[in-house]
Amino acid sequence: MNYIGSKYSLIDFLKSSIDKTLENSNESRQASEMIFADLFAGTGIVGGSFKEQGYSIIANDIQYYSYVIIKHMIENNGNLNEERCQKLIEKLNVIEGIEGFLYQNYSFGGTEGQEFRRMYFSDENAKKCDAIRITIEQWYQNCEITDHEYYFLLGSLINSIDKYANTASVYGAYLKHLKKSAQKPMTLAPLPIMRGHVDCKVFNEDVSALIKKVSGDILYLDPPYNARQYCTNYHLLETIARYDNPIIHGKTGLREYSEQKSVFCNKQKVERAFAELLKNAQFKYIFLSYNNEGLMSLDTIERIMKKFGKYAVFMKEYRRFKADNARDAKAESTVEYLHCLIKN
């Protein structure tokens, strides 16, 4: 998934920096004896990679679509029968489209005669997504699939439909004409099964509340870097995940999001929230991903982290997220930092 702030291409940098930190502080425990928490998990790629390394994982995100994906990436393991999963995907791929909530509110055909005509998906893909979403729920309610299969299928749907969205990258706006990838008929593709430690837990909470309830060894923090809220930029994925027929507003069909607005996107509140998070964290090793254009400056992060223990930083030049290029023609790359704290 092309997700704002995804660490997909930074995994090696994160792993080597974290390994180096553990080595320098003479950490003698094996990965399988340690708990790694990824509390702004997004696509789950960071937690998933450390799970494959043998760590027990705690993962969390405030967005429900992310929770669905990480329930699969982090909690699913050998508990899924791959052959059966493949068959379920095949069945879903051939069902008839339905003129459901997505079609009626986010496709051109479905919004004919309405105040706002929207074109987030082709008519056919919106109907297909509706039909798949409704069928997954029916299977689940009728106990025809397990919890593990439910999150596998729903996560696969969210990940798949995103590839056919008629947007520049995020759901803050749709394009006037169907772009090529949005014209193609949608295929439901299975999310990979990441094997690793079996004792993993996933949450769907505000990190500031959750931090008081969890503990472990390594805490990885990857908050939003700027004012762009995930709840508005990915509102459609949230609606597909919840499928709760929300009241929607305006040109882009936004759902209510006040409960999911992040303080980490707020210049006035972010420093305090970050300091509180560190204060409440019951973890020895704490890592923060941030870039050189974020709401908190490098110096501010260093000052706050140093209050709680020993500080160091790793850095890497990084190609800018695709959506940023369209917005402004600033430098093609940014500097990604991994700030480290060994807590007193």
- Which CB sits closer to ligand SAM, 1 or 98? 1
Q: Cα angle at 322 between 320 and 328, to 5 degrees?
A: 75
Answer yes or no whether residue 222 interacts with ligand SAM by CB under 6 A.
yes
Closer CB to ligand SAM, residue 67 or residue 103? 67
Among 43, 76, 125, 334, binds ligand SAM (CB under 6 A): 43
When asked if residue 53 is in the footprint of ligand SAM (CB under 6 A), the reply is no
Neighbours of 170 (CB within 10 A): 22
**225 three-state secondary structure:** coil
Residue range at the interface with ligand SAM (CB under 6 A); choices 42-50, 95-103, 119-127, 130-138: 42-50
Of residues 120-159, which lie at the interface with ligand SAM (CB under 6 A)? none
Q: Between residues 66 and 107, which has the closer beta carbon with respect to ligand SAM? A: 66
Single residue of 31, 35, 37, 62 touching ligand SAM by CB under 6 A: 62
If the CB atoms of residues 64 and 103 are measured against ligand SAM, the closer one turns out to be 64
Chosen residue from 2, 6, 53, 292 binding ligand SAM by CB under 6 A:
6
Shortest distance, CB of residue 91 to ligand SAM, whole angstroms?
29
Question: Residue 131 Cβ, how far from ligand SAM at the closest point, in Å?
Answer: 27
Dist. CA 216–CA 305, nearest whole Å: 18
Q: In this chain, which stretch among 161-169, 179-187, 217-225, 301-309 interacts with ligand SAM, using CB under 6 A?
A: 217-225
Nearer to ligand SAM, 6 or 146 (CB): 6
Residue of closest CB approach to ligand SAM: 5
Nearer to ligand SAM, 129 or 338 (CB): 338
Angle value at C-alpha 157, between 154 and 162, nearest 5 degrees: 135
Task: Write out 259-314 in H/E/C secondary structure.
Answer: HHCCHHHCCCCHHHHHHHHHHHCECCEEEEEEECCCCCCHHHHHHHHHCCEEEEEE
203 near ligand SAM, rule: CB under 6 A: no
SS3 95: coil
Determine phi and psi for 299, rounding to 5 degrees. Answer: -65, -40
Size, binding site for ligand SAM by CB under 6 A: 23
When the beta carbons of 65 and 150 are compared against ligand SAM, the nearer one is 65
The interface with ligand SAM within residues 257-286 (CB under 6 A) comprises: 262, 264
Nearer to ligand SAM, 124 or 293 (CB): 293
Should residue 7 be labelled a site residue for ligand SAM when binding is judged by CB under 6 A? yes
Count helices and strands (H / E) in the chain.
Answer: 14, 7
Distance CA 125, CA 116 (A): 19
> Which residue lies nearer to ligand SAM by CB, 3 or 171?
3
Contacting ligand SAM (CB under 6 A), which of 14, 18, 35, 42? Answer: 42
Element (H, E) at 13: helix 11-24
Question: Which sign does the torsion angle of CA 193, 194, 200, 204 carry?
Answer: negative
Q: Is 239 in the site for ligand SAM (CB under 6 A)?
A: no
Euclidean distance between CA atoms 185 and 195, whole angstroms:
31
E-state strands within 147-251? 201-203, 218-221
Which helix (H) or strand (E) covers residue 340, if one does? strand 333-343
Distances (CA, A) of 35 to 31, 90, 266: 8, 36, 30
Using CB under 6 A, pick the residue from 230, 283, 287, 321 that binds ligand SAM.
230
Residues of this chain that interact with ligand SAM (CB under 6 A) are 3, 5-7, 40-43, 45-46, 60-63, 66, 206-207, 222-224, 230, 262, 264
